[in-house]
Amino acid sequence: MALLPATLLAAGAPQAATVDRMVLASGGAVLELSAPASGIMRIRMGRGKLPEDASWAVPAAARAARLPLQVTRSGETLQLRSAGISARIDRRTLRTEVLDGSGNVLLSDLAGSAALAAGGGFRLRGKLAGADHIFGLGDKTGTFDRKGGAYTMWNSDAYKFTQATDPLYKSIPFFMAVGDRGRAYGLFLDNTWRSTFDFGKTERDVLSISAEGGPVDYYVMSGPAPKDVLQQYARLTGTAPLPPQWALGFQQSKWSYKSDAEVRAIAQRLRGERLPADVVYMDIDYQDRSRPFTVNRKAFPDLRQLASDLRAQGLRLVLITDPHIANAPGQGYAAYDSGAVQDLFLKLPGGEYYSGDVWPGASVFPDFSRAKARSWWGELYAGLVADGVAGFWNDMNEPSIFNVASKTMPLDVVHRIESDDFAPRTTSHAELHNVYGQLNSRATYEGLSRLQPDVRPFVLTRATYAGGQRYAATWTGDNASSWQHLKIGTQQLLNLGLSGFSLAGNDVGGYAGEHPSPDLLTRWFQVGAFMPLFRAHAETNRPDQEPWVGDAAHVDIRRRFIEERYRLMPYLYGAAEENSRTGVPMLRPVFLNFPQVLAKGDRLGGSEDQFMLGGDLLVAPSPTPESPGEYTVELPGKGWYNYWTGQRLAGKGETIKPDIAQLPVYVRPGAIIPKQPLVQSTAFAPKGPLELHIYPGPDCQGEIYADDGASLAYQRGAYLRQRIRCEETEAGLRVEFEQRQGDWKPWWNGVKLHAYGWSVQAVPDMAAGSILIPRPTHSSGNGE
């Protein structure tokens, strides 16, 4: 079977044709190739027929798009060419090679139709290039480079996980391979069943991808640069929405602040200590008997007044809402009663509700694979939204179940898929387990969007699947208070960013285990201040670890780093906006901005220990953070600036002697960093000029992006975007403000230019124009 003219399939001389997809059959297997976008090849295969063309990760419009395929035949080989990517297929075995636009082999299939197992499931095999490094798969631990490891996709509650724990909370079956010269390709397996990725652990230089069931449906992205791969992946699975600006502020959480008075005390302490913050979280103890969508009125007599009073202090409330609904018929529990009357809970094969023990005790679970159940779930938030709650936290949604060895529900629990472009059908939890958390957060996000159509929702989820970035931010789960977790947490967040999830964080200070030492807590606040999601959180029955805990010297250091984050808010917000447009993450390994560093080899050219925030800031913690020993920071080129002093480095790096009061941060030569005067919350408008910190060098440019930080008005033109460039001339440093886009009126009336190595100059706010900064007659001590 083939969607080709008969003349092309006939024996004889090579011929050519153009099709929108290619379908071949051999040995009982059916293979389809299509090109949904430039640089992307989709490959599907099934036994006797193709698998259903439906997805929880890739929207229908992205799957339906098809670029032309130029097909030629030579003997038993078919060659397919499309924009930026091509493929070669052996018609007899259906083995397929995928090549980039220049003809370089990206992925060489070693299995073909033999990948399909007779009893269901499959095992794909391909060649791995010896020089390739592997990144992605979400926040899995192990080594930063996945090469040589094997990983399982199965969402799991992993309390106090270690560097060797696998699987964890998320299943994101996407990876990016990057060679030493910076050329990259990506692969996304769109399959929600339990699956494994083996990157040469079992067979040297062999990639093996297997699943217990579900479709062979994968996409190869040709890059060629790492950023290109991420943008191609975002073209398929979508980008994260632009978050509310307050979600980039400091967030204080604990299991649990157990009363109205305790929450108010936390808010008052944050403001009294002059610790900038935007969010206070409330864990399960605000609820009546840990039942979602209830409030313990003895402990929290007036939630609406609490939310209002905190909002007046520039603080928002985020509340936990787990997916387990107490199995409480006849008790007046509205969430149970309304779900039961509509028959929305998961069932066992015999037809009775599945009930599992979680925080409320015996609990039932919504069938989020049904659009009707997701709509019902979203409506449950109406009362909390009316009370002024700003965001919601979906935890325990792997789903996690107590008192069973599997830590989750039985695999034969029945789901009734009624959603999107899936054919209505029943299936087992074995198929839907890995996507349950994603669908839970989707239901929350879509519900909030209906309740407040012009307000950006904030949803935080623990478990998810590919494409879940469209609905929620995430965090790395129940980490431990240890130096090892401080380090591996950064690598987890970098790989999450390389897997589509940019707005992510880990629990600052550690969630579980021994209480962090003062030094560990301080270091975590320092590093956390440069993470996309900056949330301190810890479990119950352990000493406090809020930022004010400890001696004054440590508190002052933590305060200084939190304050610096708020000064950097225009830069952070611009990075979040870039991510929402392109899929390029806020937090980046060094090689993402500078692919050539991988050729250095040692510690992935610094990418193993260092990280970048946006395109211009490089943070360089110690590779052994618990050690007082010196270490060398090697930068990707000459001329970088010390962020704290503005001084330009003479060489490509420097030796650092660790100091608990300092964290080395560097600025790319040629960067223009927007900053603002200090505020205690993003709810308060800064007072004073916008600051543009200019670090002269090659390709000198930066961008300002701003909007109201809360609504969807930016989608209707209410935003400000402006590119700024600088050029050193004989007359001085010329700073050019390109024509401003959008019609949002900024909070600033003037701009202060900090040109390092030149001078400080105040200028009016400019919608367009240029300024010349004269050459300095002398150099000041602070680098300006």
**Dihedral, 650, 654, 660, 664 alpha carbons, nearest 10:** 60
Map 724-769 to HEC letters.
Answer: EEEEECCCEEEEEECCCECCCCCCCCEEEEEECCCCEEEEECCCCE
Place of tokens 């989709």: 42
Answer whether 735's CB lies under 8 Å from 724's CB: yes
Answer whether 56's CB lies under 8 Å from 248's CB: no
Place of tokens 């109205």: 260
Band of the pLDDT at 238, cuts 50, 70, 90? Answer: very high
Q: H helices within 411-549, ranges in order? A: 429-432, 436-451, 483-497, 518-528
Nearest to 250 by CA among 470, 452, 483, 526: 526
Q: Which tokens hold the place of 427?
A: 């299936």
Q: H helices within 360-481, ranges in order? A: 371-379, 382-386, 429-432, 436-451
**Dihedral, 472, 478, 481, 485 alpha carbons, nearest 10:** -70
The predicted structure's pLDDT at residue 167: 98
Give the Cα separation of 530 and 120 in Å (integer): 46
pLDDT mean over 183-204: 97
Give the Cα separation of 381 and 376 in Å (integer): 10
Give the Cα separation of 99 and 86 in Å (integer): 5
Is the pLDDT assigned to residue 781 strictly greater than 80?
A: no
Q: Where are the beta strands (DSSP E) in 6-127?
A: 16-19, 22-26, 29-37, 40-47, 69-74, 77-82, 85-90, 96-100, 105-108, 122-127
Give the Cα separation of 756 and 761 in Å (integer): 11
The predicted structure's pLDDT at residue 160: 97
Nearest to 129 by CA among 150, 108, 103: 108
Phi-psi region of 264 (alpha: psi -120 to 50; beta: other; left: phi over 0): alpha
Is the pLDDT assigned to residue 385 strictly greater than 70?
A: yes
Answer whether 561's CB lies under 8 Å from 663's CB: yes
Task: Encode pLDDT of 316-361 as tens digits.
Answer: 999 999 999 999 999 999 999 999 999 999 999 999 999 999 999 9
Give the SS3 label for residue 559: helix
The predicted structure's pLDDT at residue 131: 81
Is the pLDDT assigned to residue 128 strictly greater than 50?
A: yes
Is the pLDDT assigned to residue 783 strictly greater than 80?
A: no
Residue 546 vs residue 604, higher pLDDT: 546
Task: Encode pLDDT of 51-109 as tens digits.
Answer: 999 999 999 999 999 999 999 999 999 999 999 999 999 999 999 999 999 999 999 99
- pLDDT above 70 coverage of the chain, percent: 97
The predicted structure's pLDDT at residue 575: 98
Q: Which tokens hold the place of 697?
A: 């060098």
| β partners of residue 317 | 280
Q: Which tokens hold the place of 127?
A: 């060649």
Is the pLDDT assigned to residue 564 strictly greater than 60?
A: yes
Q: For residue 759, how many other CB atoms are within 10 A of its CB?
A: 18
Q: H helices within 70-171, ranges in order? A: none
How large is the angle between the packed helices 303-312 and 260-272, nearest 10 degrees?
Answer: 0
Q: Which residues neighbour 312 within 8 Å (Cβ) at sequence distance 6 or greater?
A: none
Is the pLDDT assigned to residue 431 strictly greater than 60?
A: yes
Is the pLDDT assigned to residue 780 strictly greater than 80?
A: no
Q: Which tokens hold the place of 246?
A: 């307050």
Is the pLDDT assigned to residue 779 strictly greater than 80?
A: no
Task: Encode pLDDT of 741-766 as tens digits.
Answer: 999 999 999 999 999 999 999 999 99
Band of the pLDDT at 557, cuts 50, 70, 90? Answer: very high
Give the Cα separation of 697 and 67 in Å (integer): 41
pLDDT mean over 473-501: 98
Nearest to 613 by CA among 565, 575, 653: 575
Answer whether 147's CB lies under 8 Å from 132's CB: yes
CA distances to 368, 465, 686 from 427, rounded to whole Å, are 13, 18, 54
Place of tokens 């030579």: 74
Mean pLDDT across the chain: 95
The predicted structure's pLDDT at residue 777: 74
Answer whether 153's CB lies under 8 Å from 196's CB: yes
Band of the pLDDT at 5, cuts 50, 70, 90? Answer: very low
The predicted structure's pLDDT at residue 778: 61
How large is the angle between the packed helices 569-582 and 552-567, nearest 10 degrees?
Answer: 50
Q: What positions carry a catalytic annotation?
A: 395, 398, 478
- Pairing mode, if any, of strands 459-461 and 464-465? unpaired
pTM of the model: 0.97
Is the pLDDT assigned to residue 445 strictly greater than 60?
A: yes
The distance from CA 129 to its chain's CA centroid, rounded to whole angstroms, is 27
Give the Cα separation of 437 and 433 in Å (integer): 8
The predicted structure's pLDDT at residue 775: 86
Alpha carbon distance, N-terminus to C-terminus of the chain: 70
pLDDT mean over 155-178: 98
